[in-house]
Amino acid sequence: MSTSTVSTQVEPGPAAAPPGDDRSPARRRRDNIAGWAFAGPFTLLFVAFLVVPILLGLWQSFTSLSLTGANNTFVGLANYAEALGDADMWKSLRNTVVFTVLSTVPLVLVALVMALLVNLGTRGQWFWRLAFFLPFLLASTVVTLVWEWMYNPELGVINDVLSRFGAEPVSWLQDESTAMGAVVVTTVWWTVGFNFLLYLAALQNIPQVQYEAAAIDGASPWRQLFWITLPQLGPTTVLIVILQVLASLKVFDQIYMMTLGGPAGATRSIVQYIYDTGFTGYRLGYAASISYIFFAIIVVLSLVQARIAARRSS
């Protein structure tokens, strides 16, 4: 007795719906079309104003493009080779690193202290929250005008106070030894409110029961600070450091308006050097190559910081 094998071929039908999706195929198609309709405008703007400029700038970095439109020829890696040997570029990059280090440390520590003081539960918390956060809402032009007046060697309030103690007037923004420090102080006063807000939100999310249990065990407020509060703020601190480093590396506004990068290039940041090269020196191709070198540095730092943050959270 022989048996025959009958093979049946199943025609491919519509894709199976994901588990739990009871929508009909027509309904899913309509939902997909609606989703792309909502995402379409953003996608077009994202491509037009981010992807295309990035690719266009990358191409320009391999050319001798000038702001005048003349002498636009392909030069390969010549711009990058010139940039790596450019002493002014390295000086501007060094100034940027110095500014980042000098500003990041106080912007983290001062914000933490401010948040701890406000979180003590004293009266008038609304006033301190407003006072600490309000400078962050000011425009960079307003901040620089106020602090330029305060740093004025003849009429500034800082030198006026120092003169009452017998000190000589200081040219804060005109002296190479004090210009960078003056800009850092301005930046800390201006932007510390954002970090303060992040720390305050993190403090208010710490369960109060942990402090109550520690107090029952006889832990002093200082022990509670170092064994409960600060460890709980670890992820927030990592986030603030990452955001602050990236923001400080891109500094431009306050330096350009307060010192124009002077005196003698002592405060000129790498972003200002890119601006000066492209729009004052008319060398757009060379400026583009410097910007991509700086972009590569930021990407490497971001990856390192992300790896450190991942290890701390694991």
**If 0-12 CB within 10 Å is exposed, 13-18 middle and 19+ buried, where does residue 113 land?**
middle
The pTM for the full model equals 0.84
252 touches 272 (CB < 8 A): yes
> Residue for token digits 């740093």?
151
Nearest to 61 by CA among 277, 314, 312, 249: 277
CB atoms within 10 A of CB 26: 9
In a domain, 11, yes or no: no
In a domain, 149, yes or no: yes
Q: Is residue 6 classed as helix, strand or coil in its secondary structure?
A: coil
pLDDT digits (tens, 9 = 90+) for 99-115: 999 999 999 999 999 99
In a domain, 264, yes or no: yes
In a domain, 89, yes or no: no
Q: How far is CA 52 from CA 49, 55, 67, 75, 298, in A?
A: 6, 5, 19, 21, 20
pLDDT digits (tens, 9 = 90+) for 61-72: 999 999 887 778
pLDDT given at position 314: 64
In a domain, 72, yes or no: no
309 touches 238 (CB < 8 A): yes
In a domain, 304, yes or no: no
CB atoms within 10 A of CB 4: 4
Q: Rounded to a whole number, what is the largest CA-CA distance in the chain? A: 120
In a domain, 277, yes or no: no
Summarize the chain as % helix, strand, coil (round to 5). 70, 0, 30
pLDDT digits (tens, 9 = 90+) for 131-183: 999 999 999 999 999 999 999 998 899 999 999 998 888 999 999 999 999 99
Question: Domain total for the chain?
Answer: 1
CATH of the domain at 207: 1.10.3720.10
Collect the ranges in the chain with pLDDT lower than 70.
1-23, 312-314
DSSP per residue, 43-65: HHHHIIIIIHHHHHHHHHTTB--
CB atoms within 10 A of CB 289: 30
DSSP per residue, 183-235: HHHHHHHHHHHHHHHHHHHHHHTS-HHHHHHHHHTT--HHHHIIIIIHHHTHH
In a domain, 255, yes or no: yes
Torsion angles phi and psi, residue 74, rounded to 5: -80, 125
Residues 6 or more apart in contact with residue 251 via CB below 8 angstroms: 96, 99, 100, 103, 187, 269, 271
pLDDT given at position 121: 74
pLDDT given at position 8: 46
Two structure tokens written together for 146: 């106020």
Containing structural domain, residue 172: 94-270
